[in-house]
Amino acid sequence: MSGRSEPAARGTVIERAGEAIADVVERWMPSPFLFAIILSYVVFVVGMIVEGQGPTEMVGFWYDGFWAFLEFAMQMVLIIMTGFVIAYHPRVNDALQWLATLPNSGRQAVVLVGVVSMTLAWIHWGLSLVVGAIFAREMGKAAYQRGIDVHYPLLCVAGYMGLGLTWHWGLSGSAPLLLATPGNEFIELGVVEDTVGTSATVFSTYALALTALSIAYAAVVLYLLSPSPTRSRDISAYVSEDALLERGSAAETTTDDADDLAVDGGTTASASDSGGSDDTGDGPLPAERIDNSRLLGGLIALTGVAVIAWEFYSQGLDALTLNVLNFAFLFVGLAIYTRPMAYRDRFGEASEAAAGIILLFPFFAGIQGMMAGSGLAETIAAGLLAISTPETFPVVAWITGAIVNFFVPSGGGEWIVLGPSVLEAAHELGLETGHATIAYAVGDAHTNLANPFWALPLLAITDIRAREMFGYAVAMLLALIPFLAIALYVIPY
């Protein structure tokens, strides 16, 4: 890799401050797992001090809640894994390379990456997380090869904007989809009486207007933040020259049917995929042909897609739940790959990305167990009520979600911890559950722009360091504050 080159002039005050903050974060901020442990102790101590509970009682609440959200954790695992698998298909990479040829200036390149990232995040946050990173890198390479000056750190921030703005209001948003799932934890806790359909959250005019306006506003800010060509640092300052001359990205090395396999009608064989070959040299074994059968894979994939189509035909938009979303992307991915063995192998590669969710969610459930059992959740709800009115509550919910997201860097885990308190406060003020849910989700997504944890896949793919891009991420976070405050207050539900 070539060394980091610096522009002739230093960056703006905001950029330098952001880079300094990101550098401190990169050096000193502990892992999300340690955050979960620290928060467990914080809630443990606060429950004893504020609610007068004893240590034995608090440990009991923690233990009783620890395994309460296993189903939800598995749903989150499938979201990130199905998005990862689809994003790393070579055909997706081909489409990104074509899109990278469209911009004629650095500002256009940054805006296009940002809009794609934010739009995909509304559809599926796991897909946006990986595709946004790949697209930022491909756009940087295309601009370098075409002689277009584009600031690579800002390009990487644009690829991260989906996680920093629109994901939690969309089709894969943890909070709205959890409420729409039959028998969910909020029903069991008595917070809501029945499921809350996505027509009241994701597909409400409130959420749709907020999404459209936010994408447009963020695109303008990205355009204005783009440095002039003379101040831009292109991808060559961060990625080796050999990598810049390559045609594709890491996505192309995952599975390419023409390179890895011999295709014969509906059957395909690969020793690497099947784990073996015929010792006699007479060709693939029957088991290998079955494992790689496009006919079998395609048939089951089309069956799954047909089931999803029927669900929406019969139930409308309210058919969307976490289970339906995961079912849909599971079979769409199989339809793209068609070969069952290749699809299984891609899931094996995606499993590492989901390891953190598997580890963290039991701890989040334990935290919620302590908050609910000790009465701390009710106290928080009362605190929200004390400083809120029906008009200002969406803004208060947004700020609450933004603050807590610094300590619980997981939308689903955060909603499990404080969601009951937010909804109870909203109900006391006479606000709709869907209204409060979306407002809270805005805060959860917003402060991802100051949190490098979810950016780890992007940092690895783009070959950039956190402190080199988070100056602009913090600038985006600050620029969004007045817009979100006004939008949440003004847009009618």
Residue 395 has a pLDDT of 93
**Tokens matching residue 75:** 């749903």
- CA distance linking residue 424 with residue 241, whole number of Å: 56
CA torsion, ordered 387, 486, 117, 146, to nearest 10 deg: -140
- Backbone angles phi and psi of 54, in degrees to 5: -85, 160
Average pLDDT, stretch 370-385?
A: 79
What is the C-alpha separation between 135 and 379, in angstroms, rounded? 45
Mean of per-residue pLDDT scores for the chain: 80
Give the mean model confidence (pLDDT) for residues 227-245.
Answer: 79
pTM recorded for the entire structure:
0.74
User: In this predicted structure, what is the pLDDT of residue 393?
Assistant: 93
Task: Look at residues 7, 1, 62 and name the one whose alpha carbon lies nearest to residue 37.
Answer: 62
pLDDT band of 116, cuts 50, 70, 90: very high
* Mean pLDDT calculated for residue range 55-82: 85
How many residues in total does the chain contain? 493
Give residue-wise pLDDT tens across range 169-190.
Answer: 998 888 998 898 888 778 887 8
**445 pLDDT higher than 80:** yes
180-to-8, 119, 199, 314, 328 alpha-carbon distances in Å:
53, 22, 10, 16, 16
Token pair in block for residue 74 = 């598995």
Residues 320-342 have a mean pLDDT of 87
Residue 14 pLDDT level (bands cut at 50, 70, 90): low
Task: Look at residue 187 in the predicted model and tell me its pLDDT.
Answer: 86
Q: What is the pLDDT of residues 26-51, one digit of tens each?
A: 566 556 677 778 888 988 999 999 99
Mean pLDDT of 277-303: 75
How much is the CA Rg of the chain, to the nearest whole Å? 24
User: At residue 401, does pLDDT exceed 80?
Assistant: yes
Q: Taking residues 431-437, report their average pLDDT.
A: 92
Q: Name the pLDDT band for 267 (thresholds 50, 70, 90).
A: very low
Are 415 and 390 in contact by the 8 Å Cβ rule? The answer is no
Q: What is the pLDDT of residue 262?
A: 34
Residue 128: the pLDDT is 87
b/e code 443-457 from CB counts within 10 Å (16+ = b): bbbbbbbbbbebbeb
Domain ranges of the chain: 13-260+294-490, 262-291
> Is pLDDT at 305 greater than 80 in this prediction?
yes
Return the closest-CA partner of residue 115 out of 158, 175, 54.
Answer: 158
Task: Give the chain's end-to-end CA distance (angstroms, integer).
Answer: 51
pLDDT above 90 covers a percentage of the chain that reads 27
pLDDT digits (tens, 9 = 90+) for 218-227: 999 999 888 8
Q: How far apart are the C-alpha atoms of 102 and 115, rounded to whole Å?
A: 14
Task: Return phi, psi of residue 269, to 5°.
Answer: -130, 145
pLDDT at residue number 59: 94
Residue among 109, 107, 93 nearest 142 (CA): 109
